[in-house]
C-alpha cells in the first residue's frame, strides 16, 4: 500500500528537504518503520522508548487523528494521506 506522508518542517532535514514522501505499509506503524529505513533518525522524533507516539506529535490519517482510531495500528490503504503534525503549544511558564 503506497501512501503519501506529509513531513513537517523540523523533520525535513532528515528527508532531504522533502515535504512529502511515499511509503509502503499496511498500518501507520509500518509506515513509520518504512520512514525510518529510508530516513534514519526520524522515528525517535515521533515515538518514545516504548514505541508510542510522543505527546507533542499528532498523526492524521486523511482527516482523522489516529489517536481516535487504532493508534499506530490504524490500517492504511493505497492513496491515503498520513500527516505528521507537531502540536502547537507553549506558555509563559
Q: Provide the minimum distance between the beta carbon of 83 and another protein in the complex, in angstroms, as a whole number.
A: 8
8 touches another protein (CB under 8 A): yes
CA–CA distance, 70 with 72 (Å, rounded to integer): 6
60 touches another protein (CB under 8 A): yes
90 touches another protein (CB under 8 A): yes
Cell of 38: 529510508
CA–CA distance, 80 with 20 (Å, rounded to integer): 13
17 touches another protein (CB under 8 A): no
85 touches another protein (CB under 8 A): yes
What residues pair up with 3 in beta bridges, in sequence order? 23
Amino acid at each position: 500500500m503506497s501512501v503519501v506522508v506529509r513531513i513537517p518542517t523540523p523533520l525535513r532535514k532528515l528527508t532531504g528537504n522533502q515535504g512529502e514522501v511515499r511509503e509502503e505499509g499496511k498500518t501507520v506503524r509500518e509506515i513509520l518503520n518504512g520512514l525510518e529505513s529510508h530516513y534514519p533518525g526520524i522515528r525517535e522524533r515521533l515515538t518514545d522508548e516504548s514505541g508510542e507516539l510522543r505527546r507533542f506529535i499528532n498523526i492524521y490519517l486523511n482527516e482523522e487523528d489516529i489517536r481516535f482510531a487504532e493508534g499506530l495500528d490504524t490500517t492504511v490503504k493505497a492513496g491515503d494521506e498520513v500527516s505528521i503534525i507537531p502540536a502547537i503549544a507553549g506558555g509563559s511558564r
